[in-house]
Chain A
Amino acid sequence: MAKPKIGVYVCHCGSNIAGTVDVPQVVEFAKGLDAVAVAREYKFMCSDPGQSMIKDDIKNLKLNRVVVASCSPLLHEPTFRHAVQEAGLNPYLFEMANIREHCSWTTEDHGEATAKAKALVSAAVKRVYHHQPLETREVPVNANTLIVGGGIAGIQAALEIADAGHKVYLVEKDPSIGGHMIQFDKTFPTLDCSACILTPKMTAAGSHPNIELMTYSEVEEISGFIGNFKAKIRKKARFVDESKCNGCGVCMEKCPWKADSEFDLGLSQRKAIYTPFPQAVPNIPVIDKESCVYFLKGKCRACEKFCEREAIDFEQQDKIVEVEVGNIIVTTGYDPFDPTPIVKYGYGRLPNVYTGLEFERICNSVGPTSGKIVLKDGSEPKSIAIIHCVGSRDENYHKYCSRVCCMYALKYSHLIKEKTKADVYQMYIDMRCFGKGYEEFYKRLSDEGVTFIRGKPAEVIDRAMSEEEKGKLIVVGEDTLLGTIVRVPVDMVILCIALEARADAKNVAQLFGISQGADGFFIERHPKLDPVATMTEGVFIAGCCQGPKDIPDTVAQASAAATRVLALISKGKVELEAAVAVIDEEKCSGCRICNLLCPYNAIDFIEEDEVSRINEALCKGCGTCVAACPSAAITHKHFTTEEIMAEIEGVLV
């Protein structure tokens, strides 16, 4: 290989870098570094002219190494690698110095910033001197997709991919798909019946030849990498043989045992053998061991006696199913916030204080009150208060706005007005009606005789101070527009509870290699430009697991994630990282420490040669084995000791 001849390019990034770093000084400094043939500056190195500058120099000056000092490699390393490749250089003969995120953005001190920029450039130059050309390889992409979570996001993504002709495994932990959306009564702002618009999609997903529905199932293990994942899925025992059951429902009718309905949030009861709701997909019941008396006491088996198809199987065991997929979409949704800790709002303590989700069930015609809005005593409420931002926009609970509450609160007003003669009070801090048709919906509701009170209520109490407050719930707080304390006596209070990250989001994040934000929601690869990808290639997110959002946004995101997957399937192959570890078999003592440590199971012990060997297709280049090898037999390509020492030496100028 020819003697290194390095070109250094320092980017202004408009004023992002040049506003703090003295770029001409850095360029002059770079010119004086060993093996540097040329050093230049430009306003935007990532622009076409910027890239052309590099390409021209490679050709004209016969450069064989390139350093660009600009932003984070996360953003533009692919751009510049591509540029040097186009000019005929191996893309690994390139190094990036981050003088923006790591330098100009961290200080206002021009002198310090310039000094640090020089150090980073020097480090990059010394490092790139030792770079070796590396070859990337491609592996085929398995065209099957795993989708985890059968709410509207999962269903939408599954249908998009299945309709395009590819196999989807749709895994749902509950007995039926449908998610939270199927619990809602109506959807804002159009007031469509939620089930009416969702059940066709559920049925389509349930019967689609390309979708393998795995309900009452959970993913337990993921291995492999983009294009080639393996998933272990636990199919929990339903105690009902899916191949025999025709969903006639006799078992549920005859079962004498009851338990609180999860679907109705404990407001009604279901049988010990049950489907969560009438339109369940699949329409196959499960037996809940906790409340089935046969499982508890060994007697009953009524369901079995009445099942003509002999589908009941008390001996059924959990089954582990292994599937191979190329891509994964995580659509695990959200948990509703439990308002019990906000003691002053009386939830769980005062009767007729409900959460929003509970109210959805109360409004629903197949809900606990058959759709009648009634109080605990069965009478119709004469007045209802709806309290916004319960657990949202609150430093004590969740800092973020849950984005849907203003709108569902307006929807409740409409449903209340439609079904009762009750007065409705909306207690809000700010009305946020930002979506298409949302502001119009706000106006429409204002016209239906709803009273809006601006202020976050201090408490809900039942201590009457006057005759008209007797027997009522009294909402106390400041009407901030009047600047006075108001006491609003009502019969029912609805708390617009926050959407929060799933209680088990941390486990899910670990399982799929996704990062979590401080609020618990999953983090997308880029908040604006890469909203459904994650830091793990081949794993995508959509819907409320990424953050609170309404149905239109969820569906849009799900379709976006499906599109990303389809693009990878259609390309058919993925490029593998060339910066992987390699074992020098001469030095390997066969101790196998690396075998056990490798998080990707990429290292095998070769019995006949008594050495370990790395499967380059599986290696992600994490470096764990390199650090652990007691014989220093493992080298990390692109992170060799030589390269790292040179870089350290460079930064210490």
Chain B
Amino acid sequence: MEAISPLKETTDIILEEGGNALELCYQCGLCTGVCPWNRVRDFTLRKLIHKTQMGQIDFEDEDLWRCTNCYACVERCPRDVQVTHIMRAMRRVIMEVGAGKAPESFRITVKNIASVGNPLGEPPEKRMDWAKFLGVKTFTKGTEFLYFPCCYQAYDLAIQRVLRAAVYIMNKANVDFGIPASNVVCCGESVRNGGAESLWHNLAQTNIKAFAEAGVKKILVTSPHCYLAFKNDYPELGGNFEVVHILQLLAQLIKEGKLKFTKEVNKKVTLHDTCCVGRREGMYDEPRLVLTSIPGLELVEMRENREYSLCCGGGCMGRIWMETKKGERFSDLRLEQALETGASTLAVYCPYCMLNFDDTVLVMDKAGEIEIKDVLELASEALE
């Protein structure tokens, strides 16, 4: 057997890029057992961490791009190892230092965002076209909320319906909101977790400047990814805003009696907890409260729910932009769990989850059995 020696330089560079959590790992293997990848293929997460400890990382290794940042391992790690920070650090070494190569699809997306401010490569001036015929006002000083939709919801015709539902509900509930005038870009959350730190820096600064100039105090989002970016990342650059996920707002309005669903929605619905505001932020009750406030709607739980929810495969590390082989898609497994419940609707509240499940339903040919809807769509159906 060929002997290896610890490569301190490699370990050091990962540490430098923010991977110091690797020092805490005591190799118990709980993360491997928890990681959803092992349901579809071999992925010895513990071993990968030990490789970082020994400096034995091959930066060309596809495994470095596997983690979806679903947080299941971090949630249960007995040593409180921030595995996702180690993953991010390794990707930074690739993206920023230039060791190894990122997957092509990720590089293309990063390029799109860098040039036009959105992952789809669409013209920036068309970002707010979705709102044209909805009579949505532009944010001006004094408006309560800046409503900031996800790039995907803004550009992708297939899921724009979520924004229409959001606007419909907010108008009904008399929420004072406005959309950005111009010059805003992708929140940068997945870009950052994917290792493109300097690009994230630019994106965040652009948005912070635009928000500050417009006099924004509160930001309302429909994507959990934007939520994490604005709430947890932007303060690092001095962008301190009150960030509200639209379901948090609805839950509050329902509790205060300011929003009442009057129309019956006779559906059996199951809910997919999104990882980023689920395990990271503990936001489990709000979507459930909205759903259970809808008359006629029956909410059934999948066997893995709340903190044990299975990731859709999109995650917060740019996996959504990479091709995942058939047979390795978590959304397929998750859809099976949803079907097990007998629900006719799988409710989601994240654009990435929606894209993945829309795709899975088609590929698995289950469109006749189950529909994918955003919680907001179901809520808007329940309003007269």
Contacts and interface: CB of A to CB of B under 8 A. Distances in A.
Interface stretch (A375-383, A473-481, A636-644): A473-481
B44 A393 contact: no
Contacts of A396: 76, 78, 80
Contact of A455 (B33, B42, B76, B80): B33
25 contacts: A344-B308, A394-B78, A395-B77, A395-B79, A395-B80, A396-B76, A396-B80, A454-B29, A455-B28, A455-B32, A455-B33, A456-B28, A457-B30, A458-B76, A476-B33, A477-B29, A477-B32, A478-B29, A478-B30, A478-B32, A478-B46, A480-B27, A480-B28, A483-B47, A484-B42
For chain A, the bracket of interface size reads 20 to 34
B44 A456 contact: no
Category for how many chain B residues contact A: 10 to 19
A244 to B, nearest CB: 54
Contacts of B80: 395-396
A485 B38 contact: yes
A418 B167 CA distance: 70
A456 B78 contact: yes
B44 A477 contact: no
Given A396-B76, A396-B78, A478-B44, A485 B32 contact: yes
A205 to B, nearest CB: 40
A343 interface: yes
A393 B78 contact: yes
A293 B47 CA distance: 61
Interface string B35-73: 000100010101100000000000000000000000000
A651 B308 CA distance: 57
A553 B76 CA distance: 32
A480 B78 contact: no
Contacts of A477: 29-30, 32-33
B30 A484 contact: no
Given A344-B308, A395-B78, A395-B80, A459 B33 contact: yes
Nearest to B39: A485
A617 interface: no
A454 B32 CA distance: 13
Query: Which of B32, B33, B76, B308 has the most CB atoms of chain A within a 10 A radius of its CB?
Result: B33
A429 interface: yes
A343 B75 CA distance: 13
A604 B145 CA distance: 65
Contacts of A455: 28-30, 32-33
Nearest to B26: A429
Contacts of A393: 26, 78
Nearest to A393: B78
A506 to B, nearest CB: 25
B34 interface: yes
Contacts of A343: 308
Contacts of A429: 26, 28
Interface string A448-483: 000000111111000000000000000011111001
Interface in B139-188: none
Contacts of B33: 455-459, 476-478, 485
Contacts of B30: 455-458, 477-478
Contacts of A344: 76, 308
Contacts of A357: none
Contacts of A456: 28-30, 33, 78
B8 to A, nearest CB: 23
Contacts of B38: 485
A465 to B, nearest CB: 11
Given A429-B28, A458-B76, A484-B44, 4 more contacts: A344-B76, A389-B78, A395-B78, A480-B29
Contacts of B77: 395
A458 B34 contact: yes
B60 to A, nearest CB: 20
A359 to B, nearest CB: 22
Interface string A389-430: 100011110000000000000000000000000000000011
A454 B30 CA distance: 11
B1 to A, nearest CB: 16
Most chain B beta-carbon contacts within 10 A, residue among A396, A430, A454, A458: A458
A479 to B, nearest CB: 8
Contacts of A395: 77-80
Nearest to A455: B29
A343 B307 CA distance: 10
A424 B156 CA distance: 56
A344 B77 CA distance: 13
Nearest to A483: B44
A268 B34 CA distance: 36
A501 to B, nearest CB: 19
Nearest to A430: B26
Interface in B167-225: none
A17 B66 CA distance: 51
Nearest to B28: A456
A497 to B, nearest CB: 14
A47 B16 CA distance: 45
B107 to A, nearest CB: 31
Identify the 5 closest CB pairs spanning chains A and B, nearest first.
Answer: A458-B33, A478-B29, A478-B32, A394-B78, A456-B28
Nearest to B77: A395
A429 B46 CA distance: 13
A104 B32 CA distance: 44
A454 B33 CA distance: 12
B55 to A, nearest CB: 19
A305 B47 CA distance: 70
